[in-house]
Amino acid sequence: MNDFEKVLQVDDLRTEFHTLGGVVRAVNGVSFHLNRGEVLGVVGESGCGKSVSMMSLLQLIPNPPGRIVDGTALLGDRDLLAMSQSEIREVRSVEVGMIFQDPMTSLNPVLTIGTQIAEPLVEHKDMSWGEALDRSVELLDKVGIPDAAERINDYPHQFSGGMRQRVMIAIALACSPPILIADEPTTALDVTIQAQILELLNDLRNSEGMGMILITHDLGVIARLADRVAVMYAGQIVETGSAQDVYANPSHPYTQGLLESLPRHDQEHSSTERLTSIDGQPPNMLDPIDGCPFAARCKYVFDRCKTENPNLIVLEGQHSSACWWDMKNECERTVE
């Protein structure tokens, strides 16, 4: 592999929530990086810490109850987690755009679409409102909203779900940030609209060289767009690697179980064939986890898994898995 330019390097990120029931270790030692112009897909089940990880990077965790207790997140040579409020606000508009999971709650219902796109341009790019609104029309047009010049005067409720998602993308793109974090950008949308948005994100990556972190629970969406994948489980990354490697050789039992449990619309099924399921359910994040967080559901579990947490172990090149069991050789993994 050639040497990519890293634009973001996150190390040992830990975020907790102090709730009445106890401490939720929502993000529990997460490390990853993003290269220029690449799409990193982040997948995992509900509550595993995908959103909290990315919100932590941008200091968007409500405190209390949340607290980032450890970690660094280097954007170039600056640590996002050590920035002041005004610095990080600038970063959020200019350097790292974010599309939030719920477009309706993240758009302001009483401001026109145009105002919401133009605002960061006025604030951070020294544009006049006139210039910024002209640019808003261009942006809306680029994300595929017809009659953009008129629609900038509309309010969010006048847009359909798919169009609102496009508006969110336009806002995130306003200052042309080199990095975009997209949190479930298509989950609430119909498949034909999802296809439009994925197409748009793909074009942006190709035409602007934008690096993207794409959060989703849909392994099809990841396969469509991502160059690399990070699979999360219970606040940790349990497998990461190139999309090709992870899908062809899933090396963590959770990843393997997920891929096996998916029916395929492009393959014939016999009517008696059962789906392979993963038994049990994800751990309660309030309970302290000794050992591997997947141990209770894992079909390969053995003694060591219950006491020692396997951190990511490099298998080959960029491909790592946090599992004590070596599936290929059917033996306990040896770590140098």
Partner 1 sequence: MNVSEPLNNKNMLRVKNLKVHFPIRRGVLQRQVGAVRAVDGITFDILRGETFGLVGESGCGKTTTGRAILQLYEPTAGEIEFDGVKLAHLDPKLMRDMRRRMQMIFQDPFASLNPRLSVGATIAEPIRIHGTVDKQKIQDRVNHLLEVVGLSPDVASRFPHEFSGGQRQRVGIARALASEPDFIVCDEPISALDVSIQAQVVNLIEDLRADIGLTYLFIGHDLSMIRHISDRVAVMYLGHIVELAETDQLFVNALNPYTVSLISAIPVPDPVIEAKRQRIVLQGDVPNPANPPKGCLFSTRCPLVVDECRTNRPELKEWRPGHYAACHRIDEMGAGKGLPPIRLEQNSGQTSQ
Ligand X SMILES: Nc1ncnc2c1ncn2[C@@H]1O[C@H](COP(=O)(O)OP(=O)(O)OP(=O)(O)O)[C@@H](O)[C@H]1O
CA–CA separation, 16 and 66 (whole Å): 6
Range in contact with ligand X (rule: CB under 6 A) among 16-24, 142-150, 202-210, 301-309: 16-24
Q: First CA to last CA across the chain, in angstroms?
A: 23
The site map against ligand X for 93-132 (x = CB under 6 A) is --------x-------------------------------
Backbone dihedral region for residue 209 (phi beyond 0: left; psi -120 to 50: alpha; all else: beta): left
Residue 129 burial (CB < 10 Å; 0-12/13-18/19+)? middle
Residue 130 forms beta bridges with which residues?
none
Residue 244 interacting with partner 1 (CB under 8 A): yes
Residue from 50, 92, 151, 252 binding ligand X (CB under 6 A) = 50
Which secondary-structure segment (H or E) carries 193?
Answer: helix 191-208
Question: Which one of 30-38, 60-68, 107-115, 246-254 is the stretch in contact with ligand X (CB under 6 A)?
Answer: 60-68
Q: How many residues bind Mg ion (CB under 5 A)?
A: 1
The answer to whether the beta carbons of residues 268 and 257 sit under 8 Å apart is no
Q: Are 308 and 324 in contact (CB under 8 A)?
A: yes
Q: Is 298 in the site for ligand X (CB under 6 A)?
A: no
Show the tokens assigned to 217.
């629970």
Q: Which of residues 105, 277, 329, 334 is near partner 1 by CB under 8 A?
A: 277
74, β-bridge pairs: 9, 79
Told to check if 219 binds ligand X by CB under 6 A, we report no
Q: Which is nearer to partner 1, 115 or 321 (CB)?
A: 321
Q: Which is nearer to partner 1, 270 or 334 (CB)?
A: 270
Q: Which stretch binds ligand X (CB under 6 A): 62-70, 154-162, 173-181, 203-211?
A: 62-70
Segment interacting with Mg ion, rule: CB under 5 A, options 32-40, 49-57, 84-92, 165-173 = 49-57
Assess 28 for contact with Mg ion (CB under 5 A): no
E strands, the chain, where? 6-19, 22-35, 39-43, 66-75, 78-79, 96-99, 179-183, 211-216, 228-233, 236-242, 313-316, 319-321, 325-326, 331-332
Q: Please report whether residue 291 would count as binding partner 1 according to CB under 8 A.
A: no
In the list 257, 283, 293, 310, the residue contacting partner 1 (rule: CB under 8 A) is 257
With CB under 6 A as the contact rule, the residue among 33, 124, 217, 304 that binds ligand X is: 217
Tell me the C-alpha distance between 165 and 159, whole Å. Answer: 9
User: What is the three-class DSSP state of 78?
Assistant: strand
From the list 49-57, 166-174, 245-253, 296-304, the region that binds ligand X by CB under 6 A is 49-57
Task: Tell me the C-alpha distance between 182 and 123, whole Å.
Answer: 23
Contacts 24+ apart (CB under 8 A), 45-50: 45/217, 45/233, 45/282, 46/217, 47/282, 47/285, 48/232, 48/233, 48/234, 48/235, 48/282, 49/15, 49/232, 49/234, 49/235, 49/236, 50/183, 50/215, 50/232
Binding of partner 1 at residue 258 (CB under 8 A)? yes
Partner from partner 1, ligand X, Mg ion, none contacting 160, C-beta within 5 to 8 A by type: partner 1
> Whole-number minimum distance, CB 46 to Mg ion, in Å?
7
Query: Counting contacts by CB under 5 A, is residue 51 touching Mg ion?
Result: yes
Among positions 128-167, residues that touch partner 1 (CB under 8 A) are 160, 162-163
Contact residues for partner 1 (CB under 8 A)? 45-46, 160, 162-163, 190-196, 198-199, 217-224, 226, 243-244, 247-248, 254, 257-259, 261-266, 268-269, 271, 273-279, 281-282
Contact residues for ligand X (CB under 6 A)? 17, 19, 24, 26, 44, 46-52, 62, 65-66, 101, 217, 285
